[in-house]
Amino acid sequence: MSQESEHGRWTISSSDESTEENDAEKPSTSSLSHSGHGKTSGSQYPCSEARKVGHKRKASPVQFNDKSFSTEISPAKIQRTSQEGLGWCLSSSDEEPESESQPKHAQKEAVKEEKYSELNKQPSHRCEDNELPVSQKPEKHYKVASEGQDTWDLLNGGNPFRFFVTKVKGIKSKYNSGALHIKVAALVKYFSLPFFLTGLSFSFHCKFNYCIDVKWLIRQYPQEFRKKPLLIVHGEKRESKAELHAQAHPYENVRLCQAKLDIAFGTHHTKMMMLLYEEGLRVVIHTSNLIDADWDQKTQGIWLSPLYPRLPHGTTGSAGESVTNFKSDLIHYLMAYNSPTLKEWVDIIQEHDLSETRVYLIGSTPGRYQGNQKEKWGHLRLRKLLKEYTSPIPTQESWPVIGQFSSIGSMGPDQSKWLCSQFQESLVTLGSSVKTLAKSDIPIHLIYPTVDNVRESLEGYPAGGSLPYSIQTAQKQLWLHSYFHKWSAETSGRSHAMPHIKTYMRPSPDFQKIAWFLVTSANLSKAAWGALEKNGTQLMIRSYELGVLFLPSAFGLDTGYFHVKKKMFSGSNEPVTSFPVPYDLPPEQYGSKDRPWIWNIPYTKAPDTHGNMWVPS
């Protein structure tokens, strides 16, 4: 089907047609084969159609050739030059196109034509002697002076929230000084999440994620950690499950655990790590897929727990619980998988003291829930926590709600069907006051990148592969776009690092305070947050999601709010309890010419920062 728009003529193929609840990065079992100079790409891993197109356009860009733009926007070469002196030393491999659906070690080549092909056969040999095959060895990275010590200091003082963003290549070094990165950069900086901690004996780890490149993940570890036991929890099925197993096959230490997804269009979208040391346990809840592209030039969020010590032998009952009930909530979340494999991790958590935790856990698990089970998951879980652990604020009806996300599901034909009814009711809850607010009077600000945000980003148009809002869904809910606000993050130096982070908050009318803050894997969708059924007596959730909620009361504040930090990476001139919101407030509403990024239509009228166009088909 061909259609015309202000962006030119575009075509929807049958494979692009999306279902109502296909809101996020639906796994795809096909892989790309790149023919050029007689070479083919390396092994692939499952990813969304949008991500595959992003990869394809990085590997084989469509160059913009309108000379009238030559002085308006710089090509990729100029962009790379502009990164010099910004705290990043790039190897040649860093400058070449990377891909969600192609491991970083795969050869890059000039591609004339892209076709879908069968999955490449995986090697059947095992990796011996703590060594990776030559083609899988990590690229060289230059060490940053004192980076390990700086990270240690960062984790042990000055950040009571333990909330971080990931490092971004190509921005000023001052904006990376308080950030974390997965790659090896210095001898004491093992993995940054947090395998770099010197003095700890790393023994066992568990990764929950959506999109996983096993070979890339293994390469992030120093040699001495590459044979430690690793459990990967995933949601792949059928061909994509077989592909993931083939990727893991060379590594005897890697085990896989499949999360059950019994409701159509659900995904295992949770991003969590549980890291066991001889000295204790650490939990990491974050927003990044376990692929190179998600840790390179995107804005991502991380909550990093304290190191939880082991309880004395024989301790039972509720020992080691926090005021936020984090320990029991994490155990209940793991038990929801109904997996004997994860029971081992339940026992590990029981043996540790999690009492220093100050955040609340908010998860989603697939199912239909009634009675008191409804409030265990999704947006009703958020509503329950806000009701029980926050207090009413004077003039709270003028405090808006902000939602910031990287993907959008079907909201229905108008705002009353979900967004401005059940979902808004959960987000505007403050305390147990019986006063009923007119929800329609409470502003909702939704932050989602514009076409120009993507075009002017560090990655250029391929960044849009991680923003899978489709034309099919967008056309059904044009009303939603009136709520949209641009992505801008000067406060963290990340205006040009497209967001894959997902956050929700309740700011004051002047945006100087926030009543709460949530970082999560959950995008703006009913599949992630849940939708009421049967006249509100049942909550149906399709996907696994996980996030952490920051409430002032858990941090010893009786004001009912946090102050917002003016600059995310500013020094000690602001109160330690000022919250580091990673993007600019107040958000700027779309202008009359702004359009939300839609991944499956072309953009050919203006070049991106690499001098290219976006042609998805």
Active site amino acids: 269, 500
Alpha-carbon gap, residue 192 to 325, rounded angstroms: 27
Asked whether the beta carbons of 186 and 144 are under 8 A apart, the reply is: yes
The conformation of residue 177, written as its DSSP 8-state character, comes to T
The vertex-102 CA angle with 104 and 54, nearest 5°, equals 110
Alpha-carbon gap, residue 568 to 587, rounded angstroms: 16
Bond into 413 cis (ω within 30): no
Alpha-carbon gap, residue 248 to 83, rounded angstroms: 36
Amino acid at position 584, single letter: D
Residue that has been written with the tokens 């009786």 in this structure: 558
The dihedral region occupied by 407, where left means phi > 0, alpha psi between -120 and 50, and beta the remainder, is beta
The vertex-176 CA angle with 175 and 182, nearest 5°, equals 150
Alpha-carbon gap, residue 176 to 422, rounded angstroms: 38
Alpha-carbon gap, residue 248 to 219, rounded angstroms: 13
Hey, which residues does 180 pair with through a beta bridge? 166
CA distances, 58 to each of 115, 385, 459, 468, 612 (Å): 15, 43, 9, 16, 10
Alpha-carbon gap, residue 282 to 330, rounded angstroms: 12
Asked whether the beta carbons of 547 and 510 are under 8 A apart, the reply is: no
Strand duo 531-533 + 538-541: pairing: antiparallel
Bond into 309 cis (ω within 30): no
The conformation of residue 401, written as its DSSP 8-state character, comes to E
H or E stretch at 244: helix 238-248
Hey, which residues does 272 pair with through a beta bridge? 208, 285
Alpha-carbon gap, residue 597 to 484, rounded angstroms: 11
Structure tokens at 171: 């921005």
Compute and round to an integer the Cα radius of gyration of the chain: 23
Amino acid at position 452, single letter: D
Neighbours of 49 (CB within 10 A): 23
Asked whether the beta carbons of 473 and 527 are under 8 A apart, the reply is: no
Structure tokens at 359: 């955040």
3-state secondary structure of 5: strand
Structure tokens at 67: 């000379």
Does 271 count as an annotated binding residue?
Answer: yes
Alpha-carbon gap, residue 348 to 456, rounded angstroms: 46
Does 526 count as an annotated binding residue?
Answer: no
Asked whether the beta carbons of 284 and 275 are under 8 A apart, the reply is: yes
Alpha-carbon gap, residue 88 to 176, rounded angstroms: 10
Binding site as annotated, residues for substrate? 271, 502
